[in-house]
Amino acid sequence: MFTPTHLQLYANIRRLHKRLPPALRFMGNKYVRDEWARHRPLLTNSTGTLSPTDAATRDRFVAEWARYHDTLRIQILQADRWEPTTFGQSITPELLDAMSDQQIGESPPQCQPMPTTN
């Protein structure tokens, strides 16, 4: 099963999504569920023995979701104060360079490059 810390992070993200506009809430909830389900074997390792690579992957996964949580919380607080707010964050060229082709292919359609029209 998930550790309490992982469950708490997942639950807090889902709670924050309740405060998003409906379309973003739907997209965010689906993406969170899919990603956490895909990484469930790393997060629920009952044997307690993860390879160093798997442990690093798990730690990076949790760290990125914690960063997402913190960013979203700040953006929601800004929206609550009626400040101009844009939800989300642009992908930096450095982050894009660090992503594998598989990660780019698995990203939601909203993150894929837009086709150009002539």
Residue 64 tokens, joined:
């990125």
pLDDT in tens, 34-84: 999 998 888 877 666 778 888 888 889 999 999 999 999 988 888 776 655
Burial of residue 28 (CB within 10 Å: 0-12, 13-18, 19+) is buried
As a whole number of angstroms, the distance between CA 62 and CA 67 comes to: 9
**In this predicted structure, what is the pLDDT of residue 13?**
95
CB 83 within 8 A of CB 71: no
pLDDT in tens, 74-113: 888 887 766 555 666 666 677 667 767 777 676 665 555 4
The single residue listed with the structure tokens 């807090």 is 12
Q: Tell me which residue of 84, 76, 89, 88 sits closest to 18, measured CA to CA.
A: 76
pTM (2 decimals)?
0.68
